[in-house]
Every structure is written in C-alpha cells, then in structure tokens.
Amino acid sequence: MTKTSNLTEGNILKALFRIAIPIMGTSFVQMAYNMTDMIWVGKIGSRAVAAVGTAGFFTWLAMAFILIPKIGAEVGVAQSVGKKDMDEAKVYIKHSIQMIVCLALLYAFTLITFRKPLIGFFNLGEIDIINNAIIYLVIIACGLIFYFINPVFTAIFNGYGESKTPFVINSIGLIVNMILDPVLILGIGPFPRLEVAGAAIATVIAQATVTIIFITKVRKRTELFSGLNLLTSPDMAHLSRIIKLGFPVALQSGLFTVFAMIIARIIAQWGPIPIAVQKVGSQIEAVSWMTAGGFQTAMSAFVGQNYGAKKWPRVFRGYFTGITIMSIIGILTTCLLFFAAKPLFSIFIEEEETIRYGVVYLRILAFSQLFMCIEATTAGAFNGLGKTIPPSIVGIVFNGLRIPAALILSSTSLGLNGVWWAISISSIFKGIVLATWYMIMLKRNPETKELK
C-alpha cells in the first residue's frame, strides 16, 4: 500500500487533509460543471435557466442510482484496504462497475422514452421552456453512461485513499466543459448558437473525456484493476452487500430529489423567476454542500480503513477532528452567503428582479450552512462504519417534512420566502439530530469510553 492510500497511521489531521483536499477539489469540479453551464445559460435569460434547471432534476435524480454502486465501491474498497485484502477490494470494484453500466443504460432509456410526461410533471405552462427542457434532457440522456461511471471510478480511488488521481482527471473534464460552453451555447466563431442544447452537448463531451482518461489510467493500476472480468456473472453475496450499503443512501438521494421536484412545483405558482432563483441559488450554495460532501467522502474513507484495521481510537478521534474542520467552514460559508449575497447572485443573472429574489434566498439559506456541514461529516462517519441507515432515516424524514412546512409557511405572510425557510429549518434539524445519534452510538460503544 502506498503512503498516499494508507489512512490507518500517522497524524489524524494530516491524514484527513491529505485525502480530503483532493476530494473536496473534485466536488468543486463537479459543482463548477453546473456553475459554468448556469453562467453561460444565464446570459440567455431566466427562461433558459428555468429549462435547464427543470431538466436538471432528472440528472439529480440519477444520483440515487449512482450512489448504490458508488457507496458500495467506496466503503467496500476502503474496508478491504484496511484489512489489507486487495483481492476482496477487486471483487467490489468489479461488481460496482457491472452494476453502474446496467443502471446507466436502463435510466437513459427511461428518460428518452418518457421525456414529455417527465417534463410535463412540473406544469411549466411556457412552451419554449418545456421544449428546451426536453431537448436538454434527451441530449444528456444520450451521454448518461459517462455521467454514471465517472463517480464510481472516483469512489474506487477515494476508497483506496488516492484522491488526487480523480481530482486531476475530473479537472481536465471541467476545463473541456469551460471551453465548450461559451462556444456551443453562444455560437463563437464557426460554431452555431445552440443555447440550451449547446450546454448539454458540452457537458456530454466533457464527461466522455473524463471516462476515456479514467479507462486509460485504470489499465495501468494493476493493484486495483488487474484480473477483472466484467463479462462474468456477479457474485450474489457481494452484490447483496453493495446494495445493502448503497441502497439506504440511494433511497435518501432519490426521495430528496422527488421532494425537491414537489417543492419546485410549489414554487412554480410564483412564475419562472423563482424557479431560476432556486436553480442558481443552489449552485451558489453548492460552495458549502460540495465542500461538505467532499469531506463526507473523505471521512467515509478514513473511517472505513481504520474500522477495517480495527483501529477504533482513530475512528473516534477522526470524527471530532472532522467536525471541528467542517464547523469552521460552515460558519465561514454562512457569512459569505449572508453578506455577499448580491454580488454572488449577480455573477449568474443580470436581471434585477431575479437578483432581488436571489439575495433573499441566499440569506435565508445561510442560517443552515453550519448544520449542513455537521450533517455531511457525520453521515460520512456512519457510512465508513457500514451503517448507512441512520443518515438515510434522518435525511428522508426531515427532507419529507419540507413539503408540508413549505405549504404551511408559504400560505402565511411569508409567501415564497416561507418555502426557503422550510428548506433552511429542515437542514438545521438534520444536522442536530444526526450528530446527536452518532454521539449516542459512540457513548454506548465500550471501546470509546476510555477515550472520552
């Protein structure tokens, strides 16, 4: 095992930062894909942003399927590495790749076949927005295999403790996307102005580039990928464990997206501007939750390797080290969203009315950032232990409560702002409840008593 991949020895803070910084960088790269699209699509107008945002719900929903093999690969590889059993790690890698390819093909077929009723669910009422949303959805679906498999390759390397490789590869894809977006969306030089379709094509080409580089890289990593025969039948025992690990997280992600779709339908009664505000605002807020999501993955790998190596004191201390780091980031993000709301939103949209709505959105969401960071870090610790159910229960319950809360609060004098408050308050409760659950688990574990 290389020094880079071994998280079971040495200074905990350094080990966490060594794996977390590239993972958070990769998360920012993923965020930047969407941000780049929004910046250039935003130059066309709010209606184009609303179209991309609406279709984007279905790529968001795709994460529910991606997360099953992704979490299975991440946790399975991390725990196998901790046990120094690379043959077992390869089994998880093989099954995860087999599963993600099948899921990608099935989901893409579904999106293309039912594209009209899927977009029709949102009751957009504007024919140009509907048509653009369908065009974007179909193009993205055609390249969905790349969108699905890249996170699994990333998870395999992260679970191994080598987070720099996927960061570099995904960064190359981002550069490709940043170059192609203005060229294809606005029609620079000899290229036609494709607008929404151009954003989709740029994303597919960038994701395909990442996949090609990953495949080139893995062919050289014999310690992880040698001897894999993806055409052989899967082992049901390992397949079941991957599903057991990934399904609770996938269910949470899928329901989160469904709840968000319902919230979007509630928001639609105020017109296309609030839809665009939520889409752009979520991209800005992603500075916080992508950072937290990256650290969640790092915590999962750290805990997974140390749990596999039976080094419980490092599991215990690593969690509190991670919480301290992410609390600082959460507080800083709160200040950023609250005090710099207008200049941040102005980067994406030039229309004054949309900016006014956006400033209010960001300031309300700012109050939840610390708790969202705590939730993500704690979820990573649970996942590393192979206990993926507690974070999923907390996420599903409080995300689901957003719908009645949004309906109740928006019917008061708060109006549209009541929807934003419902989202923010639920995030606060998720962080408090999940961290409390983890603390109780630590307190009841006899191996931690002497450490407290």
Q: Are 95 and 238 in contact (CB under 8 A)?
A: yes
What pLDDT score does 5 carry?
Answer: 59
What pLDDT score does 184 carry?
Answer: 93
Q: Domain of residue 134: give its range.
A: 12-451
What pLDDT score does 450 carry?
Answer: 46
In a domain, 245, yes or no: yes
Q: What is the pLDDT along the chain (452 residues), one digit of tens a residue?
A: 554 456 778 888 888 888 888 877 877 777 777 777 777 887 888 788 888 888 888 887 888 899 899 988 888 888 888 888 888 888 888 899 999 999 999 999 999 999 999 988 887 778 888 999 999 999 999 999 999 999 999 999 888 888 889 999 999 998 999 999 999 998 888 888 898 999 999 999 999 999 999 999 988 887 778 777 777 888 888 888 888 888 888 888 888 878 887 888 888 888 778 877 887 787 787 777 778 887 888 898 888 888 888 888 888 899 999 999 999 999 999 999 999 989 988 887 778 888 899 899 999 999 999 999 999 999 999 988 889 899 999 999 999 999 999 999 999 989 999 999 999 999 999 999 999 999 998 887 766 544 44
In a domain, 2, yes or no: no
In a domain, 350, yes or no: yes
Host H or E run for residue 281: helix 272-308
In a domain, 41, yes or no: yes
Q: Are 214 and 150 in contact (CB under 8 A)?
A: yes
In a domain, 6, yes or no: no
What pLDDT score does 50 carry?
Answer: 82
In a domain, 4, yes or no: no
What pLDDT score does 372 carry?
Answer: 93
In a domain, 336, yes or no: yes
pTM score: 0.74
In a domain, 23, yes or no: yes
Tally of structural domains, the chain: 1
